[in-house]
Amino acid sequence: MIISDLKIYRVNFKINKSRRIYYRTFNKIQNLFVLIKTNENLIGIGESTPIKSITGDSKNTAFRLLSQAKTTLKGCDPCDLNSIHEMMGNTSRKSGVISNTAINAIDSACYDLLGKSKRKPVYQVIGECRWKNVLNTVTIYIGSLENTVNETRNIMSKYRKYGIKRIKLKLSGQPKIDKKRVMAVTKLFPGDLTLDANEAYRDERIAVKIFNNIYDLVGDRILFIEQPSPRKNLEKLRYITERSKIPIFADESTANLQDLYKIIESHSVNGVNIKLQRAGGIYWGKKMFVLAKKNKLDVMVGSIQESGVGVSQDVNFLASISDYVIGSDIDTDLDLENDIVTSSSRIPFKNGGRFPLKDHGLGVKIKNSVKTLMGSTSKIDVN
C-alpha cells in the first residue's frame, strides 16, 4: 500500500465553557486535520493541536510541516512507521520546521491505515498488552470557590451514568484558595482526585507546605499532583518531590523523549504524563513509555484540546499500555459543542474509563456534513 494523497484542514470548534489553567484560558479551539489516502482506497485520519505555550509549535508551523509532508510522503508505505517517522524527522531537520503535533497527526493517520489494513483496532496492532480499564479524570478548571462547587455538582450529575470515579482539579498557585477548593471537591465528590498546578507554584517551600497540609486533611484520596513548579527548573521539582507526601508527576517538564531522559537523570518526579501531541505520536509515545517503565516511573496518559479523532488515538495508545498505566486524563472531547466524528463513533466513557472502539483502525467516522465541507473547503467551522 502506498500514500497517494494527503489533505490538510483547519477546523474550528466551539466549547461549552472556557477552560482556564494557570498560564492561559481557552475559549475556542482550532485544530488541524490530515486525511491520508492510499492506492488501495483506504483513508487514515490524524489531528494536530498546536498550542505554542503547551506543545511548543504554532498552528502555522504545524501547517507548514504538514504541507511539506504532502510531497515527501507521497509514494511511501503508511504501514512502515519506522520509515514514515524517519522521513518526517528528515523533512523537519532539512526545513528547520519543528512541529511534533504535525508529526503526531501523520502518525495517527498511518496507524489508522495500519489497523484498517490488518483489520484490527489500532491498540491491537501497537502492542501485546492485555487491555484493562484505566480510570479517567474529568477536569475542573480554575474558577472561584463557588464555581468549583457548581462544577463538581455538574460533573457528578453529567457523568454519573458513565461511572465517574475520579476528578482532576486545576490549581491556581494561591495556596489558601487552592486548599479551600480541594476541600470543597473532596466533601462533595466521593471518589479520588488528581491535582494539576500547570507550573503555578513558583516558591517550592510554599508548594510543599500546602501539599502536605492537604495530604494531612484528605490523605490518599489525592492520587498525585501534576507539574507543581516551572517546567525548566528540575531542581525545584525535585525539592518538592523529595518532601511532598503526595506523589509528584511531570507534565510540562516531560514533553518528549529528550525531556524524559533529563527527568530520569534528575530524579525529580515520581511519575510522568505522556501526551501524544507533544511526543510526536504513538511511535514516540511508546518509546517514552518503555523508558519510563524501565526507570520505575509511574505513567499516566493525557490529552491536549483534542476532538474525537485525537482522543481515539490517545485511547488506543492508552489501551495498548494499560496494564502499567495508573490513570488517564482524556476528556477534551466531552464538552465540545459539536465534534467532527459521528455520535456512534465517539469514544465511549464507561465504568469510569475511556474505551477504544472495536472497529478497525481508530474506528472514527467523519460526519457526512463535515465530509461534504471537506470536499469544497479546507477551513471548516463545526457548528
Which residues are at the interface with Mg ion (CB under 5 A)? Answer: 196, 226, 251
Structure-derived torsion over alpha carbons of residues 147, 199, 137, 365, reported in degrees to the nearest 10: 100
Smallest gap from residue 174 Cβ to Mg ion (A): 18
What is the nearest approach in angstroms of Mg ion to the Cβ of residue 199?
9
> Among 297, 243, 289, 301, which Cα is nearest to 265's?
297
Q: Which is nearer to Mg ion, 151 or 251 (CB)?
A: 251
Pairwise CA distance, residues 43 & 37, whole Å: 5
Contact 12, 307 (CB under 8 A): no
Q: Which three cell numbers stand for residue 298?
A: 509511574
Closest CB to Mg ion among residues 251, 331? 251
Minimum distance, C-beta of residue 198 to Mg ion, in the bound complex (Å): 6
CA distance 123 to 173: 37
Rounded Cα gap, residues 168 and 223, in angstroms: 10
For the record, the C-alpha cell of 173 comes out as 498557585
If the CB atoms of residues 31 and 139 are measured against Mg ion, the closer one turns out to be 139
Q: Which residue, judged by CB position, is nearest to Mg ion in the bound state?
A: 251
- Rg over alpha carbons for the chain, rounded to the nearest Å, is 20
Parallel, antiparallel or unpaired: strands 43-48 and 24-38: antiparallel
Beta strands 248-250 and 222-226: pairing type? Answer: parallel
- Min separation Cβ 111 and Mg ion, Å: 24
Nearer to Mg ion, 92 or 136 (CB): 136
Nearer to Mg ion, 196 or 333 (CB): 196
Closest-CA residue to 313 (of 356, 272, 264): 356
Give the C-alpha separation, 140 to 19, whole Å. Answer: 9
Q: Minimum CB separation from Mg ion for residue 6, in Å?
A: 31
Q: Which is nearer to Mg ion, 178 or 196 (CB)?
A: 196
Question: Minimum distance from CB of 31 to Mg ion (Å)?
Answer: 19
Grid cell, residue 32, equals 488541524
Closer by beta carbon to Mg ion, 303 or else 307:
303
Q: State the nearest-atom distance from the C-beta of 36 to Mg ion, in Å.
A: 30
